[in-house]
Amino acid sequence: MPVPRQHVALLATLALAGAVTAFGGSLNAYHLDVAMNVGIAIILAVSLNLVNGHTGQFSLGHAGFMAVGAYLSSAFTLRLVPASASAFEQHLLFFAALLTGALAAAVAGFLIGLPSLRLKGDYLALITLGFAEIIRVVFQNTPALGGAIGLNGMAPLTTIAWTFGWVAVTVFTVSCLINSTYGRGFLAVRDDEIAASASGINPTRYKVVAFTLGAFVAGIAGGLFAHHQLAIDPRGFDFFRSVEIVVMVILGGRGNTLGVILAAVLLTLLPEFLRPVAEYRMVLYAALLIGLMLLRPQGVFNLRLGRSATGKI
């Protein structure tokens, strides 16, 4: 019996992540740091791709869900993990913390998704942006979560194994979901909502599922991010962060998982390569963005023209 491609990829990535962690001590710390940033970016981009690329719902609020995951998982590890815990216990509790953060993000995604999905296109983009800003302001005004200063002092629990383990699980889940019978509904909703509902698909349900799942995964990424950066504050989850994730999805070609992963890698590595010209970094980034949109409007890594190039909002 042939083993499906996704399963092989999942197992290979998990094994590789475990191996890299086992020999992590001999690797350059800077390279490990960048690799974890890349992994977190991939998780965020692939989860947004489910909402934005596959289901066709333009969300500008992904940083908000990431913030929920980051804050709640940090609060969990800061409050509930005793200093005396062994490494194994710490990582076990870290897993619980990640799930807590992600569940909270999923609840936020569900609550936001339910009313806002009556809206379409630019309006949906704006209302998700609005929700993300509100989440940020609420965190900023909650003294228990550090207020404007944010939280710090988390243990550095995010490892390569955790990061790329979650990358593998995310990519696996999303690509299997999309290729399943149930998952075709997401594509149907994107391609034509009216036709989809005429053929018995409930668009609202699919949209809410996509939103909730996307938020859950973004929450995981937020938790990993928090335990990698070791200090988070509300400004780190602003509008620009959401835009960054959207840009990865667009550059990768919406709905094209491999392209989105490559774009996430490229856009995370780019600022590192531009470090020698630090002052010009953001200007070059912006110019590159405009240039790519003008020259390759279907996404840099979208080699199959057509399907995702139709570009409906």
Partner 1 sequence: MTEFLQQLINGLSLGAIYALLALGYTMVYGVLRFINFAHADVFMVGSFAGYYAARHVPAGTIWGGLAVLFIAMAACTVLGVAIERFTYRPLRNAPRLNILITAIGMSLLLEYGVQLLFGSTPRNFPAVFPTSQLHLGGLTVSSNQVIVIAVSAVLLVGLQLVVFRTRLGAAMRAVSLNPRAAQLVGINLNTVVTFTFALGSALAGAGGVLYAMNYPSIDPFMGVMPGLKAFVAAILGGIGSLPGAALGALILGFAETFVGGSAYSTYKDAIAFGLLIVIMLLRPAGLLGRLTVEKV
Query: Where along the sequence are the contacts to partner 1 (CB under 8 A)?
Result: 58, 115-116, 118-119, 121-123, 125-127, 129-131, 133-134, 137-138, 140-141, 194, 239, 243, 246-247, 250, 254, 279-280, 282-283, 285-287, 289-290, 293-294, 297, 310-313
Please list the helix, strand and coil fractions of the chain in percent, rounded to the nearest 5, in that order.
Answer: 75, 0, 20
- For residues 182 and 280, which CB has a smaller minimum distance to partner 1 in the complex? 280
Q: CB 279 → partner 1: shortest distance, Å?
A: 6
Q: CB 294 → partner 1: shortest distance, Å?
A: 6
- For residues 96 and 107, which CB has a smaller minimum distance to partner 1 in the complex? 107
- For residues 167 and 251, which CB has a smaller minimum distance to partner 1 in the complex? 251
Q: CB 180 → partner 1: shortest distance, Å?
A: 26
Q: Are 21 and 159 in contact (CB under 8 A)?
A: yes
Vertex 6: Cα angle to 160 and 252 (nearest 5): 75
Q: CB 147 → partner 1: shortest distance, Å?
A: 9
* Three-class DSSP category at 313: coil
90/69 Cα distance (integer angstroms) = 18
Q: Are 234 and 12 in contact (CB under 8 A)?
A: no
202/115 Cα distance (integer angstroms) = 15
- For residues 5 and 312, which CB has a smaller minimum distance to partner 1 in the complex? 312
201/196 Cα distance (integer angstroms) = 5
Q: CB 37 → partner 1: shortest distance, Å?
A: 20
C-alpha distances (whole Å) from 64 to each of 16, 55, 136, 183, 271 are 31, 19, 7, 25, 23
- For residues 8 and 195, which CB has a smaller minimum distance to partner 1 in the complex? 195
- For residues 98 and 246, which CB has a smaller minimum distance to partner 1 in the complex? 246
Q: CB 251 → partner 1: shortest distance, Å?
A: 8
Q: Is the dihedral of CA 228, 232, 234, 240 positive or negative?
A: negative
Q: CB 301 → partner 1: shortest distance, Å?
A: 15
- For residues 3 and 194, which CB has a smaller minimum distance to partner 1 in the complex? 194
Q: Are 72 and 101 in contact (CB under 8 A)?
A: yes
Residue with tokens 């840099």: 300
Q: What is the DSSP string of 15-47?
A: HHHHHHHHTGGGS-HHHHHHHHHHHHHHHHHHH
